[in-house]
């Protein structure tokens, strides 16, 4: 798989397995390494200085690590205007499913799970590349659809 300016480089992605491996030192008093790995710098420092909040936070993290990794990968994909390739593909798939009736920004937010601040620039990029067409529906709402 290749990546360009709109894709997250593979080395920036975090894995659940590595996060759990970095959690293991928590059992020996060195807590928080997994939080640094998942880009949770402040809580990583807190865990390191407090022994994982006296071990309680480290035990809770056993259940939270998959979500921490997911959020870390999602935020890494948005850093520096780099979005996961799946966002552009998701927008185009939504346009194809909706056909001539198109979709609104709110539809994209609800279906794709990104904020309007993240989706709007991707919509504009796809319009500049002639992958999306913008118009109004009968109620005056701005809609996007395939050209």
**Contact in structure between 143 and 104 (CB atoms under 8 Å):** yes
Q: Is the pLDDT of residue 80 over 50?
A: no
Whether pLDDT at 38 is above 80:
yes
* Chain mean position to CA 76: 7
* Residue 7 pLDDT: 45
Query: Would the pTM of this model clear 0.85, i.e. be above it?
Result: no
Report the chain's mean pLDDT, rounded to a whole number: 84
What's residue 18's pLDDT?
Answer: 92
pLDDT at 2: 40
| CATH (residue range 85-145) | 1.10.10.10
Pairing status of strand 142-145 against strand 133-136: antiparallel
Taking the domains of the chain in order of start, what are their residue ranges?
Answer: 10-81, 85-145
Asked if residue 135 has pLDDT above 80, the reply is: yes
């Amino acid at each position: 798989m290749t990546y360009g300016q709109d894709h997250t480089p593979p080395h920036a992605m975090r894995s659940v397995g590595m996060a759990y491996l970095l959690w293991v030192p928590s059992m020996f008093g060195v807590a928080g390494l997994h939080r640094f790995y998942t880009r949770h710098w402040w809580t990583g420092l807190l865990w390191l200085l407090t022994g994982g909040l006296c071990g309680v936070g480290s035990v809770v993290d056993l259940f939270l690590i998959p979500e921490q990794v997911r959020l870390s990968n999602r935020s890494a994909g948005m850093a520096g205007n780099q979005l996961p390739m799946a966002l552009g593909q998701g927008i185009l798939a939504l346009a194809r499913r909706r056909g001539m009736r198109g979709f609104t920004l709110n539809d994209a937010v609800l279906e794709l799970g990104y904020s309007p601040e993240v989706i709007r620039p991707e919509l504009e990029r796809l319009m500049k590349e002639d992958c999306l067409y913008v118009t109004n529906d009968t109620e005056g709402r701005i809609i996007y659809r395939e050209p």
